[in-house]
Amino acid sequence: MIKHHPGDALLLAQAAGTLGAGHSLLVASHVEGCTHCQERLRLLEAIGGAMLEELPPGVLPSRSLADTLAAIDAPPPPLRPAPVVHRPQLPSGMAWPRALRGCNATEWRWFAPGMYRSRVSLPQDPDANVFLLRMAAGKQSSMHTHSGSELTQVLWGAFHDGRALFTPGDFDEADDSFRHLPKVEPSGECICLASVEGRVVFESRLARVVGALIGM
Ligand SMILES: [Zn+2]
C-alpha cells in the first residue's frame, strides 16, 4: 500500500521532460509501481497536450520538411548488443526497478557501521548524483538538510523520518526546508534509491567529513 507519492509539481516536470536525469529516474522508478501516479501522470500529459494545441502555429525553418523526409528514408541503425550491466547483489526476493534499465551500479561500499552505498551511473547523464543506500535494521543516518533537493524511493524494508513511516513503493521528497533523521525500522534492513541535486548538508562534523569522502 503506497502512501507517499511525488507531488504534482514533480509529476508535471516529469511529463514536460524538464527534470534532470537523476530526478527523472527516481520519479520513473516510483511511477512504474504506482497506479495512482500513472493515472495522475496521464492526466497531466493530456493537459499538457491540450495546451500545446491551443498555441498559435509557428513557422518551421525551410529545411525541416526535407530533413524529416530524409530521416524517414534513412536505413534503420544497426542493432547493437545490449550493454553488459553490472549491479550489486540484492536480498533474495527483491527486484530492480525497470527504470534502472541500462544503468550500472558499483558493488556495495561500506561508509559507516551497518551502512553501504552503491553509486548508480546513468548512461544519459554520467554526472547525475544517483545512488543506492543499504542500511541495517535500526540504523539512523545523520541529521541533515539539503542545499538542493533529494528524492528517495523505498525499494526494500522501511524507515521512519521523524514525520512518517516509509515502506516499499513510497517516495520521499526533501529540500532545505526540512531537517531529517531517517531511521530504519527494527524489523529488517532497508534499501533505497536516491537522487540528490545540490549537496546533502550534515549537521555533525564527522558526518560532514564522511559525506564529503563518499561524494554526498
Ligand atoms: Zn504514487
- Which tens digits make up the pLDDT trace of 80-90? 776 678 999 99
CA of 137 to the centre of ligand 1 (A): 25
pTM beyond 0.85: the answer is no
- pLDDT tier at 122, thresholds 50, 70, 90: very high
Residue ranges near ligand 1 (ion) with Cβ within 5 Å: 5, 34, 36-37
Helix (H, G, I), strand (E, B) or coil at 154: strand
- pLDDT tier at 78, thresholds 50, 70, 90: confident
Residue-level pLDDT at 1: 87
CA of 8 to the centre of ligand 1 (A): 10
Helix (H, G, I), strand (E, B) or coil at 100: helix
CA of 38 to the centre of ligand 1 (A): 7
Beta-sheet strands, E only, within 63-179 = 104-105, 109-112, 115-122, 125-135, 144-146, 149-156, 159-160, 165-166, 171-175
CA of 2 to the centre of ligand 1 (A): 7
Residue-level pLDDT at 120: 96
Average pLDDT, whole number, for the chain? 86
More confident call, 43 vs 82: 43
CATH class of segment(s) 104-213:
mainly beta
